[in-house]
């Protein structure tokens, strides 16, 4: 049974540290030169985080999203012309962080989702209206802009290249709406790929967190007072804190903010154009490896960045820009945090040796063209269909290597397609046993009315389903 996931804010708890042992044991570091040190005595434990809080806390805000909802009255009275739908206001509360002095605020997408009006409350209790610049559900990030001109306190974004497990961090937000609260803790893991919805572009900072409602979108800062992540969600069986919380890393925050400030309405995620699978213990043994490492390349998109860089089917990609990758989500995240057109160093293991390849990453291609059509005949009449390209597959969170066919993008109510049970998101693979490769071909296959009717094969939620229609 899968553990429920709750999109609730992330706070961190301080893992108790204490020095013990002789000075020699403390000075020997078996894994390289130390860049951090744990508190060595009780006096060190009493050191204050106040200087870090003074720097970061003024830029952490409350975010309110309001929307007007029409609520129906009793349907019985509607039959007699009575009862007018009533309007009520729904409001969500979360946290946010000012990252630019002109009032650009980053928060979680689930905090503002569905909102029609937005308000930001500063640490000094000023209430200011804001507008939504960009919402990106896949990263669960959203960017707002405070309407009132002025210079606001900010927290600089740190892309986190030097973060280590065990680093002290502070989480700042507004739990339960009680007001700004600061907690401290450590980074308990890096590059976690657990995420609500199963997105393949996620890679998170994990903290040992006390999680409470209202902190979503709050700041996770390091001991320099820099923003290393936006607190997003937890894994919990009960919906309360269990010490396993996750934050969107600063590198992805920076990409989303850059897109929003630049006027973009959607985040363009570069891709490598490689179909990969995690290297399991069994695969590692079959390849003669001493341990599971990297991702195995199962396919390369013709003419894509990986193909041009020299990546081949059967290669094992072990790292991107010096960061180890061990699953598809980790690889996609490392590539997605690059800007389109930038070059990434991809280390591959091939025939027992490691080679570094230079890949110029770019947005997934939008070919074939969508060629959107509304089907007029057959069991799919009333369905709007489009050709599936890597760009569209990426937008929908689908796998471009396995998503073959024509995508149903919409279904008109009371149409033949609706009556037949077809839904937006279905992928039409075949009609009467013939593979469907384009919207034009689908339209032609459905226009002919065979004596025995139509046999339509679709893919829904990863499962192939075939139905008979007359």
For residue 418, being part of any structural domain is answered with yes
Same domain for 349 and 281? yes
Same domain for 82 and 137? yes
Q: Which of 17-31, 131-145, 226-240, 328-342 has the lowest mean pLDDT?
A: 17-31
Domain boundary among 146, 173, 203: 146
Same domain for 383 and 356? no
pLDDT tens-digit readout, 148-171: 999 999 999 998 888 999 999 999
Same domain for 344 and 407? no
Q: How far apart are CA 157 and CA 224, in angstroms?
A: 11
Same domain for 433 and 399? yes
Q: What is the pLDDT of residue 40?
A: 65
For residue 151, being part of any structural domain is answered with no
Q: What is the pLDDT of residue 71?
A: 59
pLDDT tens-digit readout, 397-446: 777 887 678 999 999 988 999 999 999 989 999 999 999 989 999 999 99
Same domain for 305 and 393? no
Give the residue-averaged pLDDT of 272-291.
91
Same domain for 313 and 356? yes
> In CATH, what number is assigned to the domain containing residue 326?
2.30.42.10
Same domain for 397 and 324? no
Give the residue-averaged pLDDT of 374-379.
92
More confident residue, 468 or 78: 468
Domain boundary among 146, 164, 191: 146
Same domain for 106 and 70? yes
Q: What rounded mean pLDDT belongs to the chain?
A: 83
pLDDT tens-digit readout, 183-213: 888 999 888 875 544 444 568 999 886 767 7
pLDDT tens-digit readout, 19-38: 444 433 333 434 344 456 66
Same domain for 386 and 349? no
For residue 18, being part of any structural domain is answered with no
pTM as predicted:
0.76
Domains identified in the chain, total number: 3
For residue 198, being part of any structural domain is answered with no
For residue 170, being part of any structural domain is answered with no
For residue 113, being part of any structural domain is answered with yes
For residue 127, being part of any structural domain is answered with yes
431 lies in which domain range? 373-469
Tell me which residues are annotated as active site: 110, 140, 216
For residue 48, being part of any structural domain is answered with no
Same domain for 71 and 101? yes
Q: What is the pLDDT of residue 428?
A: 94
pLDDT tens-digit readout, 117-130: 999 999 999 999 99
pLDDT tens-digit readout, 48-93: 889 999 999 999 999 999 876 665 555 555 555 555 555 566 677 8
Same domain for 402 and 436? yes
Q: How far apart are CA 294 and CA 422, in angstroms?
A: 39
Domain boundary among 126, 146, 166: 146
Q: What is the pLDDT of residue 234?
A: 74
């Amino acid at each position: 049974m899968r553990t429920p996931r709750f999109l609730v804010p992330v706070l961190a708890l301080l893992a108790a540290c204490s020095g013990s042992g002789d000075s020699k044991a403390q000075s020997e570091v078996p894994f390289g030169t130390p860049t951090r040190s744990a508190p060595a005595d009780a006096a060190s434990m009493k050191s204050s985080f106040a200087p870090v809080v003074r720097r970061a806390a003024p830029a952490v805000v409350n975010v309110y999203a309001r929307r007007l909802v029409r609520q129906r009255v009793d349907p019985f009275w509607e039959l007699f012309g009575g009862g007018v739908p009533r309007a009520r206001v729904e409001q969500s509360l979360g946290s946010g962080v000012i990252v630019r002095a002109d009032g650009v605020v980053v928060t979680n997408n689930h905090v503002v989702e569905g909102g029609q009006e937005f308000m930001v409350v500063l640490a000094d209790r000023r209430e200011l209206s804001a507008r939504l610049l960009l919402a990106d559900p896949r990263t669960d990030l959203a960017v707002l802009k405070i309407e009132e001109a002025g210079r606001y306190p900010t927290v600089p974004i740190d892309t986190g290249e030097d973060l280590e497990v065990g680093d002290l961090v502070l989480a700042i937000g507004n739990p339960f709406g009680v007001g700004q609260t600061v907690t401290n803790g450590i980074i308990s893991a890096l590059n976690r790929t657990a995420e609500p919805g199963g997105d393949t572009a996620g890679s998170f900072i994990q903290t040992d967190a006390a999680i409470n409602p209202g902190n979503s979108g709050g700041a996770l800062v390091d001991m320099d007072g820099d923003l290393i992540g936006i607190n997003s969600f937890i894994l919990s069986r009960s919906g309360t804190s269990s010490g396993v919380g996750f934050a969107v890393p600063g590198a992805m925050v920076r990409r989303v903010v850059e897109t929003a400030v630049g006027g973009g309405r959607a985040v363009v995620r570069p891709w490598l154009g490689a179909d990969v699978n995690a290297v399991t213990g069994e695969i590692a043994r079959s390849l003669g490896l001493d341990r599971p490492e990297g991702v195995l390349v199962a396919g390369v998109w013709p003419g894509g960045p990986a193909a041009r860089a020299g990546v081949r089917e059967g290669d094992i990609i072990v790292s991107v820009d010096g960061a180890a990758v061990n699953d598809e989500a980790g690889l996609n995240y490392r590539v997605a945090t690059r800007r389109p057109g930038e070059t990434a160093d991809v280390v591959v293991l091939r025939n027992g040796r490691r080679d570094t390849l230079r890949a110029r990453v770019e947005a997934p291609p939008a070919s074939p063209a969508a060629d959107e059509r509304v089907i007029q005949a057959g069991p799919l009449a009333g369905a709007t269909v489009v050709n599936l390209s890597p760009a569209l597959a990426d937008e929908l969170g689908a796998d471009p290597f396995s998503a073959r066919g024509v995508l149903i993008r919409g279904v008109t109510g009371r149409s033949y397609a609706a009556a037949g049970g077809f839904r937006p998101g279905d992928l039409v693979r075949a009609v009467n046993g013939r593979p469907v490769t384009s919207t034009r071909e689908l339209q032609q296959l459905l226009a002919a009315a065979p004596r025995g009717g139509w046999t339509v094969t679709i893919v829904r939620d990863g499962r192939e389903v075939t139905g008979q229609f007359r």
